[in-house]
Amino acid sequence: MPIDDEFKLIRKQRASRSRGRTVEDAWRRIDEDDGLSTKDKLQNLISLTVNKDLGRASRTGRGGSHQAPATPAQPLRIFENSYPLHVRYGRISIASGLQLDRDLVAKLVRASSRADEPEEFDLGRALFIDLETTGLAGGTGTLPFLAGMGFYRNDRFQIVQHFLEDPAGEGDFIAGLLRFFKEMDFRSLVTYNGKLFDLPLLETRFILNRTPFPLAELPHLDFLFSARILWKHKHESCRLSHLAREVVQVDRLEDIPSAEIPARYFEYLRTRDFSLIEPILYHNQEDILSLLGVVISGFQLIADAESAAAEGAPADAMDLYGAGKFFERTGDAETSIRYYERALRGRLSRDTAAAARQRLSTHFKKAKKFDRAVALWREMTEADQLASFRELAMHYEHRDKNLDLALSVSEEGLALAMEEAADSIREDFRHRIERLKAKLRRASAPRPLKGRTK
**Ranges of each domain in the chain:** 13-55+72-301
94, 236, 20, 213 alpha-carbon torsion, rounded to 10°: 50
- Higher per-residue confidence, 25 vs 7: 25
Confidence of residue 51 (pLDDT cuts 50, 70, 90): very low
Confidence (pLDDT) at 345: 92
Q: Is the pLDDT of residue 395 over 80?
A: yes
One-letter amino acid for residue 25 of the chain: D
CB atoms within 10 A of CB 350: 8
Confidence (pLDDT) at 74: 73
**CA 222 to each of CA 113, 127, 140, 291, 348: distance values in angstroms, whole numbers, following the listed order:** 8, 12, 22, 10, 27
Each residue's pLDDT tens digit, 124-159: 999 999 999 998 666 667 899 999 999 999 999 999
Confidence (pLDDT) at 106: 78
Q: What does the alpha-carbon distance between residue 449 and residue 438 come to, in Å, rounded to a whole number?
A: 22
Confidence of residue 309 (pLDDT cuts 50, 70, 90): confident
Q: What does the alpha-carbon distance between residue 108 and residue 111 come to, in Å, rounded to a whole number?
A: 5
- Point out the least confidently predicted range of 117-121, 239-243, 449-453: 449-453
Q: Give the homologous superfamily in CATH for domain 13-55+72-301.
A: Ribonuclease H-like superfamily/Ribonuclease H (3.30.420.10)
Confidence (pLDDT) at 255: 83
Average pLDDT over residues 282-289: 96
Average pLDDT over residues 230-251: 94
Each residue's pLDDT tens digit, 342-382: 999 999 999 999 999 999 999 999 999 999 999 999 999 98
Average pLDDT over residues 419-447: 88
- Of all residues in the chain, the percent with pLDDT exceeding 90 is 64
Average pLDDT over residues 271-296: 96
Q: Is the pLDDT of residue 312 over 80?
A: no
Confidence (pLDDT) at 32: 56
